[in-house]
Amino acid sequence: MELRTINEDNYQECLSLNITDANVDFIDPVAWSLAEAWVFGDDARPFAIYTDNEMVGYVSMLIVENNPQIVNFMIDSRFQKRGYGTAAAKLCIEYLCKEHNASRISLPVNLGNIPAQKFWSNLGFELSNDIEDGYIYMRLYIPEKSV
């Protein structure tokens, strides 16, 4: 599995990714997320998620000082329940730690999206007291590496 930058070769395929009906109220469409990434410019990191050279999902991250965030994350409806979400989430965590020296990673989850809260909790994220516009922020604290 790998993260690939969105570019002129893959953006149309990325725009065709679909969420499941159960998530329609919780996940922003890819077009909205890409527009948001364009607005945030250099702070945004939108990626297509690939496995075996096939696009299976999308993620957008924000790189803000001392608080990198996973702001949009989705696996296409055709590829659900195959473990791709967990593998991709771990890849995002690894990317933020390795490329941006993250000591804490945040992500907003809709207050009503209990399955997403459980998903991220299983990866070590904890609910915070920070709630904004109907989203609760979950946080993963990265232990310092001993030398």
Render pLDDT for 6-47 as a digit per residue (tens, 0 to 9): 999 998 999 888 776 666 666 777 888 888 888 888 899 999
Whole-Å CA distances, 31 to 12, 58, 60, 64, 92: 10, 11, 12, 22, 20
> pLDDT (tens digit, 9 = 90+) per residue, 74-133?
999 899 889 999 999 999 999 999 999 999 999 999 999 999 999 999 999 999 999 999
**Coil vs helix vs strand at 2:** strand
CB-based contact 59:70 (threshold 8 Å): yes
Nearest to 110 by CA among 18, 16, 19: 19
pTM, entire model = 0.88
The pLDDT, as a whole number, for residue 20 is 64
Residue 146 pLDDT exceeds 50: no
Domain at 2-141, CATH homologous superfamily: Gcn5-related N-acetyltransferase (GNAT) (3.40.630.30)
How far is 53 from 67, CA to CA, in rounded Å?
Answer: 31
